[in-house]
Amino acid sequence: MAAERLTSILKHLTPGSALSNITSKNPDDIVITLAIRTPLAKARKGGFKDTSLEYLAYATLKEVRERSKLDPSLVEDIAMGNVSDGKSSYKLRAAALAAGFPNTAGAYTLNRFCSSGLKAVEDIANAISSGSIEVGIAMGAESMSAGGDALDKPFDEAVTAQSQESADCMQPMGWTSENVSRDFGITREEMDKYAAESFQRAERAQKAGLFDEEIVPIKTRVKDANGEWKEVTLTQDEGIRPGTTPESLAKIRVAFPQWGPTTTGGNASQVTDGAAAVLLMKRSTAVKLGQPILAKYVGATVAGLAPRIMGIGPSVAIPKLLGKYGLTLNDIDVIEINEAFASMAVYCRDKLNLDWSKMNPRGGAIALGHPLGATGARQIVTGLAECRKSGKKILLTSMCIGTGMGMAGLFVNEQ
Q: Which residues are catalytic?
A: 114, 370, 400
By the 8 A CB rule, do 175 and 150 touch? no
Comparing CA positions, the residue from 30, 38, 75 lying closest to residue 381 is 38
5, 10, 12, 15: CA torsion to nearest 10: 180
Beta bridge partners of 302: 407
- Whole-number Cα distances in Å, 398 to 153, 313, 376, 387: 30, 9, 8, 16
Distance CA 344, CA 326 (A): 26
By the 8 A CB rule, do 409 and 300 touch? yes
DSSP character at residue 227: S
SS3 state at 161: coil
DSSP character at residue 328: -
Classify residue 58 as exposed, middle or buried by CB count within 10 Å of its CB (0-12, 13-18, 19+). Answer: buried
Contacts 24+ apart (CB under 8 A), 161-165: 165/306, 165/307, 165/308, 165/404
By the 8 A CB rule, do 122 and 378 touch? no
Comparing CA positions, the residue from 200, 236, 187, 189 lying closest to residue 356 is 200
Give, for 140, the enclosing helix (H) or strand (E): strand 135-143
Q: What angle do CA 117, 404, 273 make, to 5 degrees?
A: 35
Please give the backbone phi and psi of residue 413, each rounded to the nearest 5 degrees, phi first.
-70, 135
| Crossing angle of the two packed helices 342-351 and 188-207, in degrees rounded to 10 | 90
Q: Amino acid identity of 158?
A: A
Contacts 24+ apart (CB under 8 A), 8-12: 8/333, 8/393, 11/331, 12/393
Q: What angle do CA 127, 289, 279 make, to 5 degrees?
A: 45
